[in-house]
Amino acid sequence: MRGPGRWAVLLALVVLAVVMVFPFVIVAINAVKSPADYGSHGPLSLPDGLYLQGMVDFWNRVEFGTKLWNSFLISASVSVLAVVLSVLNAYALGIGRVRGRLSILVLFLVANTLPQEALAYPLYYLAKAVGLYDTQLAVIIVMTVIQAAFGTYLLSAVLGQFPKEILEAAAIDGAGRLRSLWRIVVPISRPTLNVLLIFFFIWTWNEFFLPLIFLISNDTQTVPVALGVLQGEKFMDATTSSASALLGIVPAVAFFLIFQRTLTRGVTVGAIK
Partner 1 sequence: MRARTKGYWLYLLPSLLLFLGVIVVPFLMNVGASFTRWSGVGTPRWIGLENYRRLLVDERFWESFQHNVGLIVAMAVVPTAIGLVLAAALFDYIGRRFGARTASALRAMYYLPQVLPVAVAGVVWGWMLHPSYGAVNQILGLDLDWLGDPDLALATVMAVMVWFQLGYPVVIFMAGLQRVDPAYYEAAEIDGASWWRKFWHITIPQIRPEIFVVMLTCTIAALKVFGPIFVLTRGGPGNATMVPSYFSYLNFFQKSNVGYGSAVATVLALIIIVVTFLFLRVQERES
Binding residue for partner 1 (CB under 8 A) from 62, 154, 185, 202? 202
List binders of partner 1 among 90-129 (CB under 8 A).
91-93, 95-99, 104, 107-108, 110-111, 113-126
Q: Are 134 and 220 in contact (CB under 8 A)?
A: yes
List binders of partner 1 among 235-264 (CB under 8 A).
238, 241-242, 244-245, 248-249, 252-253, 255-256, 264
Give the span between the Cα atoms of 260 and 264, in whole angstroms. 6
Binding residue for partner 1 (CB under 8 A) from 80, 175, 186, 212? 212
How near is the Cβ of 187 to partner 1 at its closest, in Å?
18
Q: Does 40 bind partner 1 (CB under 8 A)?
A: no
Q: Does 27 bind partner 1 (CB under 8 A)?
A: yes
Give the span between the Cα atoms of 143 and 156, in whole angstroms. 20
Q: Does 54 bind partner 1 (CB under 8 A)?
A: no
Q: Are 144 and 85 in contact (CB under 8 A)?
A: yes
Q: Measured in whole angstroms, how far is the alpha carbon of residue 92 from the centre of its chain?
A: 27
Give the span between the Cα atoms of 115 and 122, in whole angstroms. 13
Q: Quick one: 200 or 205, whose CB is closer to partner 1?
A: 205
Q: Does 160 bind partner 1 (CB under 8 A)?
A: no
Q: Quick one: 53 or 231, whose CB is closer to partner 1?
A: 231
Q: In 3-state terms, what secondary structure has residue 236?
A: coil
Q: Does 169 bind partner 1 (CB under 8 A)?
A: no
